[in-house]
Structure 1
Amino acid sequence: MSSTLIQGTFVCTPTIGSLQILSDHLIAVSSTTGLITHFAPITSSSSIELLQSSPSPPIVLPPGTFLLPNFCDLHIHAPQFLYQGTGLHLPLMQWLDEYAYKAEERLDADAGLARRVYTRLATRLVEKGTGTVLLFGTIKEETNLILAEIMQKAGLRAFVGKLSMDISSRPTYTEPSAAASLYSASSFITQCQHLTSSLPLHRRLVAPVLTPRFVPTCSDELLSGLAALSVSQSLVIQSHMSESRDEVTWVRDLRGAEDIEVFEKHGLLTPRTIQAHCTFLSIPNLTHLSTLGTAVAHCPLSNAYFSDKPFPLREALIQGVKVGLGTDVAGGYDLDIMSSMRYAVAVSRMREGTRALTVHADGPRVPAVGASAENLSINWQEALYLATQGGAHALGLPPGSGNFEIGTPFDAQQIQLLDPETRQGIGALDFFDLETGAEGNILLTLEMVEKWWCVGDDRNRVGMWVQGNNLFEKAR
């Protein structure tokens, strides 16, 4: 079995809060399956044996360059990419009527426009280092099949959700009944799976997911039907839960219950479920979510615009909730998971500042019921874990995905920090105190990786692989 060999420095977060810089390592990727078949120091006996038996020399990464697992984006509204970066001045429920539903309806009515928007979206995702993505689509089957086809062609690992919604505040943008919605969801699943059925298993990168938009747009009959469909076909479920004050109030008025109660009642909170936002969940709610195995897509930027309240990230992690990051385009204006990581840290630090001021302003105070006594901030290394392995775990990818482990898909991005000849930083990066080894080679340090995390951008991304397939490579 032929393999691609790559020698160089690898950066990963094996556990949340820990970061490894693995210099002079050798990785082997099966050309047949795209899986990692070897990963060890270059000086190990197994690496030496592999190099000696290989018909081709390894690809050697230049100094100042490293491989990092791809990013996972757990929450994007693909049709809303049409108006990314506009229309963020309204409350959530008004914004849906004024922008989101109209954009989705436009794409459902214009296949050519949908193809242009989705093709550009795929290009941007690759540029941003996002190799795995969980997508909300529209209500029309054909438009979602265009989305799935384009993501597969781009080589991205994409979970594509046809919206299910038999209730809508926009009369022209809804499905006629719960029965019609369930029939359409089932039909889309079959057609989406057929798109890749002739490909080898490791090249079937696109999969359908069930997508009740959120409680206000779904009848009880529809929610129960989707749960049954999920069980019968072991499908991933995605939705929004407890996102904003107006949404939470609407659900209470309509259903006389909380979001989490409605979803659980209808069997939609499972280990295969990813719920976006969850900002209004209490600590007991989070504990229960952890018990159920349901994951959260944390979208800190869009939360700042629409949620009225930040997500209790530290508390969720303490309770063992599976958490990954999402951009929530277009509720979030930036498609880059780098921004989601930075905002996640910034929001958590502000939450910790508020907690500390409350505790120490006039002497110790009794914390509110359910409040955490823990430090609420997260650091950049924890955010990097959420963007990589956290997202992979939430999606149920093979154990070890989002890391460099033997038997997992080779999903990686190549990051170049500086020019090895001039030793000048690339893009926004500047380095003045480079560390060198005994032979004068540049050593990658934790501080260099941190600087990239804070101010790096697309100019530093020079290669990307999904399931061993090289999607692009910039010449330097």
Structure 2
Amino acid sequence: MLLVGDLVHCPSLGELQILRHHLIVVDPQGRISYIAPAQLLESAKVIEAASEPVTPLPRGSFLVPSFCDLHLHAPQFLYQGTGLHLPLMEWLDAYAYKAEEILDADPALAERVYKRLAVRLIESGTGSVLFFGTIKSETNLILARVMQAAGVRAFVGKLSMDISSRPTYVEKSAEDSLSAARRFIDDCYSQVAHLPAHERLIQPVITPRFIPTCSDKLLSGLGALAAERSVTVQSHMAESHDEVGWVKQERKQDDIDIFEEAGLLTTRTVQAHCTFLDSPSLERMQKSGAAVAHCPLSNSYFSQESFRLREALQRGVKVGLGTDIAGGYSIDIMNSMRQAVIVSRMREGTRLLASGSAEEDQEAMPVSIDWKESLYLATRGGAHALGLSGGVFSIGASFDAQCIHIRDLTTGQGIGALDFFDDAPQIADEWDIDEEVIEKWWSLGDGRNRYAMWVQGREVTRRD
């Protein structure tokens, strides 16, 4: 596949690159094999030697990497947008466990929910997702099959929990839970074993729900299994005041201590929330190589603290964004980006008001982030946390991308919620994508601007 147009990406935190009129070549395995300005002689030779024609992007559009969602509870999509009035531990009993149990008991409903979830993800430009599933392996295999068919890159976690406040929704013992986790890993890999390696979009994930639902025996067993099979690990850590207090009272340790001792804090680990991690704990996260799924919306509902995002980034902790459906009500990572900036700005305001003097204000490191940094988190940051090569346009990276249509250059009209007021007759030849236009899309854009999306080089959607 050969495409020509404007490319936008964030190779590093805070860095926004606009690559105007570039040729990008995607090989049969879905990886970028060539990228350079289209007007170069070398690019002309590549085009001439190609066995297929060049496809120009629509004028007034650009490519940006597809989004990564590092934390989404697939079964909770069943009741997305409701039930957000309770504290975390009460909410789990009243809504989360109930919905997960319902889907585990009804495979047909699970398939309907997950197919609709795939549609919504693609509409939102999300190409890679780290999923929390349910206890029952078969339900998680449905999730994996549906996402593979839809073309969404899916890391699927079968829940492991041998402790529960809901007697009907729990595994019988640590041994039973470990055996089920091992079988799920094998079954998940087997489900795509017939496909070429580059077409296998699903991976199993070891998923202890969180410390209050897992015995020490189960956690240490999962840590050993993760090391044996070299698979991704995910959980919730230091999420809310009541959860942190429960762990401290019952286990006499902090979350991070327990996960580390169990071998569940590694370079393949993604921990959601982490709002109660202090500076020494963030240092430990960086040393372990574990990543954080920052979920600003659900944190606002269920945590009494805001995640120390700037401090984590300053220390080199890997961070990406998550929607945390249904603890957060929006499946769109664009909203997570905006919320991440808003929360950080509120933290910065609190810091300034609490500081002692103007001199201290100037010397201290601001804790806010800007829109460019949030775009990095939604793309390259998330991909890096998952061990993926995508999230950036470079040779060898997976071509995980979305085409964003900003403006009809014939009429001068913006697409969707975007409006422009310059002289329409002149724009066809003079108008270019710039940082101001991209920021406008970041602030106001929605699904109407999404013209097409690719995952591993495969086109998964295109607007007429």
| TM-score (normalizing by structure 1) | 0.95
3-state SS of paired residue (2:35): strand
Say which of 380, 390, 394 aligns to 1:389. Answer: 380
CA shift digits 1:224-272 (9 cap, x unpaired): 0001111111010000000000000010111001000111111110000
AA at the equivalent of 1:183? S
1:318 aligns to 2:314 (yes or no): yes
What is residue 112 of structure 1 aligned with on the other side? 108
Contact residue 80 and residue 104 of structure 1 kept, 8 A: yes
Which contiguous aligned blocks of 4+ residues in structure 1 show a shift greater than 6 angstroms? 362-366, 434-439
Closer, same or farther: CA 332–434 of 1 in aligned 2, 3 Å: farther
Paired amino acid for 2:94? E
Structure 2 SS opposite 1:72: strand
Contact 1:9 1:67 in 2 (8 A): yes
Cα distance in 1 for residues equivalent to 2:278 and 2:426: 51
2:348 partner letter: E
Q: What corresponds to 1:458 in structure 2?
A: 447
1:448 corresponds to 2:444: no
Taking a change above 3 Å as real, the CA distance of residues 436 and 294 of structure 1, as seen in their structure-2 partners, is: farther
Aligned partner of 1:425 among 392, 414, 417: 414
Q: Deviations over 1:342-369 (max 9, x none)?
A: 0000000010011011115x66679xxx
Given candidates 215, 219, 222, the residue that maps to 1:223 is: 219
Structure 1 pair 436–159 and aligned structure 2 pair: CA distance change class (3 A): farther
Give the whole-Å Cα distance in 1 for the aligned partners of 2:162 and 2:243: 17
Shift of 1:418: 1.1
Q: 1:389 to 1:230 in 2, by over 3 A?
A: same
CA distance in 1, matches of 2:168, 2:427: 69
Question: Which position in structure 2 is the counterpart of 1:99?
Answer: 95
Q: Tell me which residue corresponds to 2:461.
A: 472
Classify the secondary structure of the residue corresponding to 1:139.
Answer: coil
Q: CA deviation at 1:435?
A: 10
Distance 2:453 2:195 in 1: 22
Distance 1:460 1:363, change over 3 A: closer
Matched residue SS, 2:408: coil
Residue 288 of structure 1 and its aligned partner are, at CA, apart by 1.0
Structure-to-structure mapping, 1:187-226, within 5 angstroms: 187-226=183-222
Shift of 1:60: 0.7
Question: Match of 1:246, as an amino acid?
Answer: D
Task: Tell me how far apart the structure 2 counterparts of residues 385 and 180 of structure 1 sit (CA, whole Å).
Answer: 40
User: SS of the counterpart of 1:146?
Assistant: helix
Q: State the secondary structure of the residue aligned to 2:158.
A: strand
Secondary structure in structure 2 of the residue aligned to 1:440: helix
> 1:70 and 1:35 mapped to 2: Cα distance?
14
Aligned to 2:250: 254
Q: Which runs of 5+ in 1 are unaligned?
A: 367-371
Out of 5, 8, 14, the residue aligned to residue 8 of structure 1 is 5
Specify the SS of the correspondent of 1:184.
helix
Q: Number of aligned pairs?
A: 464
Contact 2:412/2:427, CA 8 A, preserved across alignment: no
Shift, 1:421, TM fit: 1.2
Q: Deviations over 1:273-313 (max 9, x none)?
A: 00000000001100111011010000000000001110000
Give unmatched runs, 5+ long, in structure 2. none
1:78 equivalent in structure 2 = 74
Q: Aligned match of 2:169 in 152, 173, 195?
A: 173
Match of 2:400 in 1: 411
Moved more, 416-425 or 436-445: 436-445
Match of 1:24 in 2: 21
User: 1:369 aligns to what?
Assistant: none
**Separation of aligned partners in 1, 2:23 and 2:385:** 28
- Over 3 Å counting, the alpha-carbon distance change for 1:365 and 1:402 in structure 2 is closer
Per the alignment, in what secondary structure is the counterpart of residue 332 of structure 1?
Answer: coil
Contact 1:358–1:365 (CA under 8 A) maintained in structure 2: no
Contact 2:409 2:428 in 1 (8 A): no
Q: Say whether the 8 Å CA contact 2:341–2:368 is kept in structure 1.
A: yes
The 1-side partners of 2:317 and 2:197 are apart by 30
Secondary structure of the residue aligned to 2:166 is: coil
> Does the 8 A contact of 2:410 with 2:428 survive in 1?
no
Q: CA deviation at 1:202?
A: 0.3
Counterpart secondary structure, 2:367: coil
1:152 corresponding residue in structure 2: 148
Residue in 2 that maps onto 1:268:
264
In structure 2, distance between residues paired with 1:396 and 1:53: 33
Structure-2 change in CA distance of 1:352 and 1:196 (3 Å): same
* Residue pair 1:118, 1:150 contacting (<8 A) in 2 also: yes
Give the CA RMSD over aligned residues.
Answer: 1.7
Cα separation, 1, equivalents of 2:423 and 2:24: 26
1:235 paired residue number: 231
Partners of 1:45 and 1:312 lie apart in 2 by 48
1:248–1:18: structure 2 CA closer, same or farther, 3 Å change rule? same
Structure 2 vs 1, CA of residues 54 and 177 (structure 1 numbering), >3 Å: closer, same or farther?
same
- For residue 88 of structure 1, report the CA deviation from its aligned partner: 0.1
Q: For residues 8 and 359 of structure 1, do their structure 2 counterparts lie closer, same or farther at Cα, with a shift above 3 Å needed?
A: same
* 1:42 alignment counterpart: 38
- Which amino acid counterpart does residue 411 of structure 2 have in structure 1? T
What SS is found at the alignment partner of 2:165? coil
The alignment's TM-score, normalised by the length of structure 2, stands at 0.98
Report the residue type matching 1:292 in the other structure. Answer: S
CA distance in 2, matches of 1:280, 1:311: 7
